[in-house]
Structure 1
Amino acid sequence: MATASSVNNVLNYPIRGARRFSNYCFAVVVAIGAIGFLLAGLSSYFHINLLPFSEPLQLEFLPQGLALTFYGIAGTLLDIYLWVIITLDLGGGFNEFNLNSGKVKIFRWGYPGKNRHLDFEYPIADVLAVKVEIKNGLNPKRALYLRVKGKGNIPLTEVGQPMALSKLEDRAAELAKFLGIPLEGL
């Protein structure tokens, strides 16, 4: 979990993006599976065993080999997409609360192009409250929002695994106290 750093009236929270251990593991597993399917399908087409630990030569190319080749190509494309997302670190960035400049800055990395840098700045005077949203159950949600005048709720937490309840409460209380604004939702 990211930690906050506070220096001279500046509070900064780094936000972890797509460069997570779970994403690396998932991309490696998808790559291994996709290569296996692709090699099995191609083995059945060319009648050459490209997988030394199995016997794909016993497969008929139509329909099994063709299906395996299709799944191998689809898996390879998915894996390329996952590695691009990891390389670009989509969703990564920081939240900065600067009392010296009177600004809140929220920065995230996006897809290449016009919106590669998602950079939002709001005056601290426009920040109305820190809002905590907690939803338990099958799909739990623990999120922290900044309620900004005229902008609605701006998300401050990372996407992915929900933050521990105690850490969420501590961060919300610290942020509300630092900005001198009310805390909602607890």
Structure 2
Amino acid sequence: MGGQTLAESSQVLRQEVLGARRFSNFFWAGISTIGGVGFLLAGLSSYFGKNLLIVSDTTGLQFIPQGVALLFYGVAGSTVAGYLWLTMALNVGSGYNEFNKKSGQVTIFRWGFPGKNRRIELINKIADVQAVKAEIKEGVNPKRSLYLKVKQRRDIPLTRAGQPISLSQLENQGAELARFLGVPLEGL
């Protein structure tokens, strides 16, 4: 969860959620673009017999099998890069969590990919919220997330996907939300 704002005399708690526009995604999209275009140009250089690269000369490579392999890697790398750039342009996964005591509603909103599920919006009654659940898994691939336990529904994730937040931040956000909603905090 990103920044939190408490408005209208403690009646509304709104938490912004960061989507795909993270430094790590920009970094990997840039690396994939450079690598994909480099391999693509190297493969095309071997096919046309003309150097299309600035840093090296790949005209001496045989097109079959080396040039074909380079073209394949270039297309694959460029496809991955295109996917990452598109995901960041659309800011997939961004949104907000809004807890409104005045209207008695909890709204979880996220942006998705274009199509019928571009806008993902879950609306529940505050009275149906049973608890705020913290899930902590340590190890090689740590996971630290907050979930909203709602009657007759699956647990709803409240934190962003990707890099886990610190334990102290998770505890503070979970405790603040549980206190605001008047429900227990589970899992800590």
Return the TM-score normalized by structure 1. 0.97
Partner of residue 15, structure 1: 17
Partner of residue 6, structure 2: 6
Per-residue deviation, 1:80: 1.3
CA distance in 1: counterparts of 2:146 and 2:166, whole angstroms: 12
Q: Secondary structure at the match of 1:57?
A: coil
| Alpha-carbon displacement from aligned partner over 1:87-146 (angstroms, at most 9, x marks no partner) | 111111000001111100000001111111000110000000011111111111101011
Segments of structure 1 that go 5 or more residues without pairing to the other structure are: none
Segments of structure 2 that go 5 or more residues without pairing to the other structure are: none
Partner of residue 135, structure 1: 137
- 2:176 corresponds to 1:153: no
Per-residue deviation, 1:52: 2.6
Q: How many residues align?
A: 186
Runs of 4+ aligned structure 1 residues displaced above 2 Å come to none
Query: How large is the Cα RMSD of the aligned pairs?
Result: 0.9
Per-residue deviation, 1:152: 2.6
Q: Letter of the aligned partner of 2:72 in structure 1?
A: F
Q: What are the equivalent positions in structure 2 for 1:84-103 lying under 5 Å apart?
A: 84-103=86-105
CA distance in 2: counterparts of 1:150 and 1:52, whole angstroms: 60
Q: Secondary structure at the match of 2:109?
A: strand
Q: Secondary structure at the match of 1:152?
A: coil
Partner of residue 39, structure 1: 41
